[in-house]
Amino acid sequence: MNGFMLLTITTTHQPATDLGFLLHKHPDRLQSFPLSFGQAHVFYPSADEDSCTAALLLNIDAVGLVRTGRGQEAVTDQYVNDRPYTVSSFMSVALAQVFGTALAGRCTARPELALTPIALQATLAVLPCNGGASLIRRLFQPLGYTMSIEGTLLDDHFPEWGNSPYYTVTLTATLPLH
């Protein structure tokens, strides 16, 4: 059983395919990276001169996490939890390992590009937050991001159950990628 996490980064900077230089990942290739908790995949769902989107998809090995002791402590929690499916510290580790050069603000092929503010949009799907949308706003607005926060119901068939603690968060800003 595997779980998936997704982060997308989009730019409309011209040419938008410069995002590939900044991330050190070629838009025409799928790249995969082994991680201690699964595998990361980088691909570009769209890449042209006007708009470019890079996706970081984490394939979390949920059973492997339990077997190696990296999962939850309680026995039932090991097999019944949302950890492999929600944005968590696993995403932070993957970002550091897969996009480490970009996070450091280095771009050997185009050093001036790494320092250039560009229009960026990052979307995190299935972000858990028990504090709700107001907590997400308090965390990110002081950093200067424009935000879109999309909540969901726990179950569409039972709206009386209320909202889920999961959100899709889109952060937008014009700044250097790092």
Residue 8 has a pLDDT of 95
Q: Which residues in the chain land under pLDDT 70?
A: 1-3, 62-88
Residue 66 has a pLDDT of 58
User: Which sequence spans correspond to the domains of the chain?
Assistant: 2-175
Cis peptide before 176 (omega within 30 of 0): no
Residue 87 has a pLDDT of 52
Cβ-based burial of 109 (10 A; exposed 0-12, middle 13-18, buried ≥19): exposed
Q: Which residues contact 28 (CB under 8 A, 6 or more apart)?
A: 44, 47
pTM for the whole structure:
0.82
Is the CB of residue 117 less than 8 Å from the CB of residue 13? no
Q: What are phi and psi of 132, to 5 degrees?
A: 80, -175
CATH of domain 2-175: 3.30.1610.20
The DSSP H or E segment spanning 111 is helix 111-114
Residue 74 has a pLDDT of 47
The four Cα atoms 45, 164, 156, 57 give a dihedral, to 10 degrees, of 20
Is the CB of residue 37 less than 8 Å from the CB of residue 65? yes
Measure the CA–CA gap between 148 and 165, rounded to whole angstroms.
16
